[in-house]
Amino acid sequence: METVKYNYIVIEGNIGAGKTTLASMIARDHNAKLILERFADNPFLPKFYSDPSRYSFPLELSFLADRYRQLKEELVEQDLFRSFTVADYYFMKSLVFSSQTLEQDEFSLYRQIFYIIYSSLPKPDLYVYLHVPPARLLKNIALRGREYEKSITAEYLTGIQESYFNFFRQNPENRYLVIDISAIDFVASHDDYLKVMNVIFNEPVGLGINLRKF
Which residues are tagged catalytic? 88
CB 13 within 8 Å of CB 130:
yes
CB 75 within 8 Å of CB 121:
yes
CA atoms within 13 Å, Cβ hemisphere of 137: 22
> 128 φ, ψ to 5°?
-100, 125
* Alpha-carbon distances, residue 83 vs 7, 21, 86, 174, 196 (angstroms): 8, 19, 10, 22, 19
* Alpha-carbon distances, residue 71 vs 89, 118, 123, 172 (angstroms): 10, 11, 11, 22
Gyration radius from the chain CA atoms: 17
Residues pairing with 208 in the sheet: 175
| Cβ atoms within 10 Å, residue 186 | 21
Helix axis angle for 52-76 and 92-101, nearest 10°, is 180
